[in-house]
Amino acid sequence: MKKRLSACALLLIGWLGTGENNVQAQTPEQVFNAAGPPQNPKVPISWNRYYDYAGITEICAKLAKAYPDLVKLETIGDSYQGKRIWALTISDFNTGDPFRKPAMYLDGNVISNELQGSEFALYTAWYLVENFQDNAFIRELLQQKTFYILPTINPDARDNIMHRINSANATRAGMIPLDDDSDGLVDEDQPDDLNKDGHITFMRRKSAKGRYVVDPQNPLRLIPAKAGQSGEYELLGYEGLDADGDGRMNEDPPGYYDPSRDWAWNWQPDYIQHGALKYPFSVPENRAVKDFVLRHPNIAGAQSYHSNGGMGLESLDAVEEGNTENQGHNQVNDLLKRYAEQVIPGYTYQLVYKDLDSAFGGKLNWLHHARGIFTFSNELMSPYLQVDRQKTKDPEQEAGPVDVNYMPPFQDAYVEWVPFEHPTYGNIEIGGFKKNFPQAHPGDLLQEDAHRNMVFTLYQAYQLPQLEIREVLTRKLSNGLTEITATVANTRILPTHSGQDLKHKIERPDYISLKDSTVVAGMVLHNPDQQPGREQKLNLARLEIPNIPGLGFIKVRWVVLANKPNLVVEVDSRKGGVVRRAF
């Protein structure tokens, strides 16, 4: 056996070659490239891990340096602790002003322990620029559209959960110190790591009144006892102490507020919506994002990444569903979410008010209702990614839901339960899962799910309005007048104004202009044969159009006092871009 091993080793050494640098990477001729992510990116990034604020900053800077014609990096404001909030503008800068193109907004990590939103947003930025040269679809997309990508809008809390001792369910908050229970104390120290193992895990004790038993598939995990089954353990929450003797453990964490309840649509104070702060946009990070969105009225679509649950959320009020103004909006949302459910297996799309508990002051609602943006919020991690939801025990029976108890345990996700003498609870045990599980994706699933969610984001961006001036027809009239009729089409499914936009008159109308100074009449034709149409009384050369529908068109007409008019037509839409054509 020893001789055989030596022979194999010698053969391997001979194949690799000799010398100091004998191990060579495979040559391009030896590689069969997989479709999708680039094989030799300018900015190599490992997508099986999570990056802290410094890591995110470094990735953003490297992308901007490697692709100056595609990426602009800017700061939109500072966090409470003074960290810069980064925004990436991604577009083909050589094909027009990014501000005048229809734009897709993308952000992540508004909540501290929902980390993967940052990696998903960064993956989208990276994939776009690295594939621009060789992927015709992406090249066309960045020529026509702009992406605004904010990887983390809660950088203080992101670093807090990564670098300090925390539990998997650390506070959702940012870092503004608050007296959570009005006892005059604010604990700005790290939570109590009672057994000094570097992790905040759970406390449990044996009890006849316990409702939990040990998971037979994973002895480090507790699961609820089944009906009729006696429980063995009482779960006491995360490990910690009652610092001020009021009977509460681990209270007054730094910044106990919810940045997802700080937005100025249907905002409610804390006694109604727990987690709200003083007033809408009282959180500095959210104010910076709000100001950025207001400065970019070309944002027509948005995606905000959260975790977890495997859900895509959208926002429509129950009273609005029957409104004719929202019919087109709802149809567009239905088309988008049907596509998303195809490319993101296991995800279901739900209305916030209808399928989930009501929440007030959310960013999803603000973007949709206050800004008229077609907005989704994907709740990311779900058991579907680890086990098939449909599991059939008997081939003749219909498939049923999988018991998530069968999820395979991850070696590095749990710590052993160890005894501890607690000053309040007495003899207990400390252990269970760590903060890298279960909200955060395991490394092997991170890139796959980031890619699938990115595909949906790119599809939504592709379907932002795309305007074309199809034709301009002229007809001679008497007395030196000429009639000019122009057709403007929108070749994608999103209209230039959403139902909410039309209802609340959020954005200005679209303009269709004839660049001729001799216009004496201008009108919008509601159908091609209508005479004379809806005439505009003022500013005759620049016609105001309330909306250019998705996969639809608008016809306009001018009468000019000229035998040879200037046949230059321009369409200027906040969310549909600017198109100019001479005939």
Active site residue 379: yes
- Considering only CA atoms, which of 344, 428, 337, 432 is closest in space to residue 375? 337
- Say if strands 71-78 and 84-90 run parallel, antiparallel, or are unpaired: antiparallel
Q: How far apart are CA 161 and CA 520, in angstroms?
A: 65
Q: How many CB atoms lie within 10 A of CB 556?
A: 24
Question: Which amino acid appears at position 558 of this protein?
Answer: W
Q: Rounded to whole angstroms, what are the CA distances from 332 to 328, 335, 492?
A: 6, 5, 10
- Which residue among the candidates 379, 448, 471, 544 is catalytic per the annotation? 379
Q: How far apart are CA 54 and CA 59, in angstroms?
A: 9
Total Cβ atoms within 10 A of residue 374: 28
Distances in Å between the alpha carbon of 159 and those of 51, 81, 258, 266? Answer: 9, 11, 17, 30
* Distance in angstroms (rounded) separating the CA atoms of residues 422 and 420: 6
**What residues form DSSP beta bridges with 350?**
313
3-state SS of 498-543 is: CHHHHHHCCCCCEEEEECCCCEEEEEEECCCCCCCCEEECCCCCEE
Closest C-alpha to 373, from 258, 266, 506, 526: 506
**Residues noted as catalytic:** 379
